[in-house]
Amino acid sequence: MSWIGKIRRVGRIVEPAQNAPETTIAPPTGVTGSLQLRHVDAGSCNGCELEITGAFSAVYDAERYGARLVASPRHADGLLTTGVVTHNMRQPLLNTFHAVPEPRVVIAVGDCACNGGAFADGYGVVGPVGDVVPVDVEVPGCPPTPQQIITALRKVTGR
Amino acid sequence: MTTALHNSPTVPALGEGARAAPPAGALAWLSGGLTAALGAVGVALGLSVIFGEPRQLRIGWLLPLVGVRLDLDPLGGLFLVATGAVSIAVGIYAVGYAQRERWARFPLAILPLFVAGMLLVPAAGSITTFLVSWELMAAVSLFLVLSEHRREAVRSAGVFYAIMTQLGFASILLALVVLSAAAGGDAFSTISAHVHDLSSGTKTTVFLLTLMGFGSKAGLLPLHAWLPRAHTEAPSPVSALMSAAMVNMGIYGIIRIDLQLLGPGPNWWGLTLMIIGALSAVFGVLQASVATDLKRLLAYSTTENMGLITLSLGAAILLRSSGAPTVAAIALTAALLHLLSHAAFKTLAFLAAGSVLAATGLRDLDKLGGLARRMPVTTVMFGIAALGASGLPLGAGFVSEWLMLQSLIHSPADGNTTLALAMPLSVGAVALTTGLGIAAMVKAFGVGFLARPRSAAAEAAQEAPASMLTGMTLAAAACAVFAVAPALLGPTLRQVLAVLPTVGGHAAGPQLGTFLRLPGVGGSLSPGLLAAALIIAVLLTLGLSRWGARHRPAAAMAPLWASGADTLSSRMQYTATSFAEPLQRVFDNVLRPDIDVEVTHFAESQYLVEKVTFRSRLADPVEQRLYTPVIRAVNAVAEWVRGAHTGSVHLYLAYGATGLLIVLLVTR
Amino acid sequence: MAAALQVVAVLAGAPLVMGGMRQVRARLEGRAGGGIGQPYRDLRKLLRKQQITPQGTTVVFALAPAVAAGSTLLIAAIVPLIALGSPLDSAADLFGVVGLLFLGTVALTLAALDTGTAFGGMGSSREITIAALVEPTILLAVFALSIPAHSANLAAIVSAAMQNPGQVFSPGSVLAFVALVIVTLAETGRLPVDNPSTHLEVTMIHPAMVLEYAGPKLAVVEWASGMRLTVLLALLANLFLPWGVAATDPSALGVLLGLAAITVKVAVLASVLAAGEVFIAKLRLFRVPELLAGSFLLALLAVTASSFLATTTQ
């Protein structure tokens, strides 16, 4: 029963919520506070993935703003895309994008996804995410902090 | 499992022998029409007996010494109705099937004879007539099984069927001869009058022998082995007749001889029936749930359902002798109702399977799929049959299984240890059977008919012709009656119950009205109301899901989600084998699958795999353990006896003379 | 009237139960959580999204969510959650209710097979395996419950339990309760049998079946699974602790009391379930049959205990 004690000792570890950011785009369906995302790694170095994990962890808890990662693009409202798009991931990215029911958003996380970043001139690279699918929200940074990612998510959920 | 029937998808399934002599359409019409007409006569006669006076017919000259004696009572009438109804559907179906499949002339011509044999069995009023009609039924069905005798699998099935059905016949013959000798008469009525004089030893002998003979006909464990072979290899209309009508005769025999003539039997008869029934049910459904051959699956499901019926009959005996005639009547009603509903859904299932086989040449579920778009009517028909077989609400088997469970849970609580142990275990067995039955039927329907085609033959499937669809529609209509309006059968079952006083027939049976009520015990069900309410609830949900519809973008069609890849090939689908794999693993100890995994490495490095071969074969474990040693022993004895056969005519004459001498000496 | 209220309560309350359970888990894990209203927002959003029909699917795929939800609603109308004496009570007893439950399961499994995807087939194969193994336990537990009431009709069982409250603590009843709890977990896809919040397709059972559903149909699927959980928890509560269930033809006050009682009971059960889930991990798929075999044994013991106790007291 040490687990119960631990739960009591640790208590709430979540960071206090900051004020809601100004929303730049309206929630896609008009319903605030619900955003399911399918994560697509289009060619990332996994730095952004670590930060995304952080954003959905107990400390930053993106779920309290209504954002959640889901397994199937059919269940999603949009894509959370990281990394510069490589040749091999171009088609899968497009396939995933088209599998998402409308209305849908694309959130590009990290410098690579926004403008190619460090890998912009690589030989295996198609370009930033915006060259392949329309991007609605960009989160700059290499990698962006969980707080930045959460701010971007809140802009879309409106919560 | 391989079913290498046909190579080209464009050539419809046809046996080599059939190709030599394509039958004229006229013969198909004649034979199918005659089959259906005989069926109609059976239904009419059966109903007239159930609701009217018993009928009798004596033809003195037809059989030497005793003559033919037909006595029809409501019990026989019920089986006449069941057999007749199945035959009507099968007869109409056979018209189209015979033309499409180019069924050979001879088997097609004797199809009505098979029905005639099956109609005579329940009508027989004396042991001699019974045995003759039984043998007629068995012999004709053997010829029908051998329709496509050019295929090796068919011949092997034929041998199995011939031996087992004749062994069964010998066992019945012996039993009935003993019975007739002890009771001093040939007619059932005479035996019935003298049954009290029989010693318990005679009764036990007769019970055990008939159980063996009738059990083998009904496909009960351990004498079920012919069933998955013969039902699989016979032409589908014949499979339907055998599986939905002929196996019933085994149950008829048990009811007529063991329950009615010899009853009320002692407790252990009931227990024996319950144990055999439970084992057959669980074993049958387990084999069905891992089978990948559509018709084999259905054949094992027949063993399962006959097992459930036998279990119920056993429960009726046990409950009657424990002083609960009311509950015994429920059990008996459950058995009879299940027999009828099984006849309906199994006819439909085999006919639909035959329609698939005719369209694709495939029975292997691993190669089927995607039929819902190509053969919509057949798919709906099989769906109705599968729903019935799975015992779910709105299915044909639900009400009878419900009655079965009610009879098992309402046993009297009077300190009877046997009941207190037998009933919970039976409920467990019935429940496991239903659970696995659902799995088997979901597999058959979901893998075989839904999804995407797994072979070119399935891709090219085309809907069956009108007469086949008509036959199936009739069976489907019967399924619908069992599913939502079993009330229509109430009067019939009451009449039948009344002639079975030895198992609680005097007690008021369950009332099958709009609400099924069980007199004496609390319990009610209304399948019709339930169906209506469910439809309303589903419509309500559909209505509710329209909420917010005006905010929605237009609905769209999209390719399947392939995890980012471009397409999902149909080989990536789950097959019947993979679908059943978890169950096979769970029941590993019972099923004992024979699995080979062969990994070939590249010559350069053993870390790189060139190919992996996986082979899984599921044999019937009972067959392997029980039959193989027996067959080996018989072969050994035959080998030994062969020593006496030197080929010398003189020696044979000497054998003959010695034999005659012995006979003369003994009978002197 | 009470039956209609039951349907509405289950319909409206199911997302709340889901939200509440997620919130309890979130708080125990030190998170803030999305709030108990989150499922309502998710459902509302899903209902406004585009409907996607995957290519090659048939009417089975299209209708399955409605059958799953409809059968659950029908169960909600039959079972005595708020008051006894539903007009449908004599239309289906506990066996019928179990049958309806399985009808919903089968509808979704067939829909998953209908898509012809690898994950769909995998999910339905696993789901049906578990359903097949769950069935014996459920029916034996029904048997055990019907012994004191001499009937499997729900109103009879519940009113028998009300008249004789001490019977709840009889060995048969306790064993049946444990067996039914395990069955409920398995049938609603909760830990340790299935993990409702996993993202890994290969570990999924129920979620793998519904990977192809989108928008409004997904909303119905999720709603249905919430309602299933709610109805089963409520049924579990009332079969063993029928306190507060209003009698046949209840007054308005009785109905309100009944509603309050069932809300409290379901809230407590759901919280306990959610709290328990924090402490356990998902079982390996092929360990699940062992768990279910255990529950089958408990149910068998429950029946024999009940019937032997019944015989000795007579």
Contact list in B for residue C172 (CB cut-off 8 A) is: none
Q: Which residues of C touch A103 (CB under 8 A)?
A: 49-50
Question: Which class in CATH covers the domain with range A33-157?
Answer: alpha beta
Residues sharing a CB contact under 8 Å with residue A148, sequence separation 6 or more, in sequence order:
A139, A140, A141
Distance from the Cα of A8 to chain B's closest Cα (Å) equals 41
CB B528 within 8 A of CB B485: yes
Strands B511-512 and B68-72, how do they pair?
A: unpaired
DSSP assignments along B478-502, one per residue: HHHHHHH-GGGGHHHHHHHHHT-GG
CA distance B381 to B375: 10
Residues of C in Cβ contact (< 8 Å) with B415: 311-312, 314
- Longest Cα–Cα distance of chain C, Å, equals 63
Check if the beta carbon of residue A66 is closer than 8 Å to that of residue A157. yes
Q: Chain A neighbours among C 13-42 (CB < 8 Å)?
A: 26-35, 38, 41-42
- The share of chain A scoring above pLDDT 90, in percent, equals 60
Do the chains contact at A61 and C31, CB–CB below 8 Å? yes
Q: How close, in Å, is residue C143 to chain B by CA atoms?
A: 6
In chain C, residues with a C-beta closer than 8 Å to the C-beta of A30 are 48
Domains in chain C, number: 1
- Residue A69 has its nearest CB partner, among C52, C199, C211, at C199
Position B13 scores a pLDDT of 42
| C102/B392 touch (CB, cutoff 8 Å), yes or no | yes
Residue pLDDT, tens place only, C88-117:
887 888 888 989 999 999 999 999 999 988
Helix (H) or strand (E) segment spanning residue B615: strand B609-617
Q: Is A103 on the interface with B (CB under 8 A)?
A: yes
**pLDDT score recorded for residue A149:** 93
DSSP for residue A17: P
Q: Do A102 and B553 touch (CB under 8 A)?
A: yes
Mean pLDDT of A70-90: 93
ipTM: 0.93
Q: Do C30 and A14 touch (CB under 8 A)?
A: yes
Q: Does B642 touch chain C (CB under 8 A)?
A: no
- DSSP H helical segments within chain C, as ranges? 2-28, 38-47, 59-78, 94-115, 118-149, 154-163, 171-187, 206-209, 215-240, 252-279, 288-313
Query: Is some CB atom of chain A closer than 8 A to the CB atom of C118?
Result: no
Q: Which chains touch A (3 or more CB pairs under 8 A)?
A: B, C
Low-confidence stretches of chain B (pLDDT beneath 50): 1-22
pLDDT value, residue B500: 76
Which position has the token pair 């926004």?
A114
CA of A131: how far to CAs of A95, A108, A114, A122, in Å?
15, 12, 10, 15
Q: Which stretches in chain C have pLDDT values below 50?
A: 313-314
Residue A89 distance to chain B (closest CA, Å): 9
pLDDT digits (tens, 9 = 90+) for B530-587: 888 899 999 999 998 888 888 888 888 888 888 888 888 888 889 888 898 888 888 8
A80 contacts: CB under 8 Å, gap ≥ 6 = A37, A38, A39, A40, A52, A69, A107, A109
Neighbour tally for B610: CB within 10 Å: 10
Residue of B nearest to C114 (CA): B451
Note the pLDDT tens digit of each residue in B312-351: 999 888 888 887 778 888 888 889 999 999 999 999 999 9
Domain extent at residue C251: 2-313
Please answer yes or no on whether B523 and C285 come within 8 Å at the CB atom. no
Query: Which phi and psi (to 5°) does residue B441 adopt?
Result: -75, -35
Q: Which of A29, A92, A101 sits opposite B564 (nearest CB)?
A: A92
How far C212 CA lies from chain A's nearest CA (Å)? 6
Locate the chain C residue with the closest alpha carbon to B514. Answer: C91
Residues of B in contact with C106 (CB under 8 A): 390, 392, 438, 442
DSSP tag of C246:
B
A71–C49 C-beta distance less than 8 A = no
- B163-193 pLDDT, tens digit per residue, is 888 888 999 999 888 888 888 778 888 888 8
Chains in contact with C, where contact means 3 or more Cβ–Cβ distances below 8 Å, are A, B
Please judge whether B446 and C216 are an interchain contact, meaning their C-beta atoms are less than 8 angstroms apart: no
* DSSP notation for A44-111: --SHHHHHHHHHTSTTT-GGGGTEEE-S-GGG-SEEEEESPEEHHHHHHHHHHHHHSPSS-EEEEESH
**What's the DSSP call for residue B609?**
E
A75 at the B interface (CB within 8 A)? no
Q: Judge whether A73 and C81 are in contact, CB under 8 Å.
A: no
Specify the DSSP class assigned to residue C197.
T
Q: Are strands B556-558 and C52-54 parallel, antiparallel or unpaired?
A: parallel
Q: Which of B563, B566, B567 to mutate to test the interface with A (most CBs of A within 10 A)?
A: B563
Q: Which of B553, B562, B565 sits opposite A103 (nearest CB)?
A: B553
Q: Is residue B52 classed as helix, strand or coil in its secondary structure?
A: coil
Interface of B with C in 554-593 (CB under 8 A): 554-563, 568, 570, 572-574, 578-583, 585-586
| pLDDT given at position B230 | 85
C90 and B515 in contact by Cβ < 8 A? yes
Identify the pLDDT of residue B10. 38
Secondary structure letter of residue B12 according to DSSP: P
Instruction: Tell me the count of A-B CB pairs closer than 8 A.
Output: 23
**CB-based contact (8 Å) between A30 and chain C?**
yes
Q: Which of C36, C41, C51, C206 to mutate to test the interface with A (most CBs of A within 10 A)?
A: C41
Indicate the residue of A3, A68, A75 with minimum beta-carbon distance to C279: A3
Residue C151 DSSP SS3: strand
Separation in Å, CA of A7 to nearest CA in chain C: 6
Nearest by CB: B427 against C116, C124, C139? C139
Q: Is A23 on the interface with C (CB under 8 A)?
A: no
Residues in A touching B564 (Cβ below 8 Å) = 40, 92-93, 95-96
A66 interface with C at CB cutoff 8 Å: yes
Q: Give the chain C residue nearest A37 (alpha carbons).
A: C199
User: Using the beta-carbon criterion (under 8 Å), do B428 and C106 form an inter-chain contact?
Assistant: no
**What are the structural domain ranges in chain A?**
33-157
Q: How many CA atoms lie within 13 A of A130 on its CB side?
A: 16
Asked if the Cβ–Cβ distance from A95 to B558 is below 8 Å, we say no
Closest CA–CA distance from residue A1 to any residue of chain B (Å): 33
Start-to-end CA span in chain A (Å)? 37
Nearest to B582 among C95, C125, C135 (CB): C125
Q: What pLDDT does residue C305 have?
A: 80
Q: Are B346 and B244 in contact (CB under 8 A)?
A: yes
The Cα B307–Cα B311 span in angstroms is: 6
Q: Where are the domains of chain B?
A: 270-541
Q: Cβ distance B273 to B314 under 8 Å?
A: yes
Of the candidates C74, C151, C311, which has its C-beta nearest B521's C-beta?
C151
Q: Look up residue B391 and give its two tokens.
A: 């015992």
Helices (H), ranges, C89-214:
94-115, 118-149, 154-163, 171-187, 206-209
CA distance C307 to C301: 10
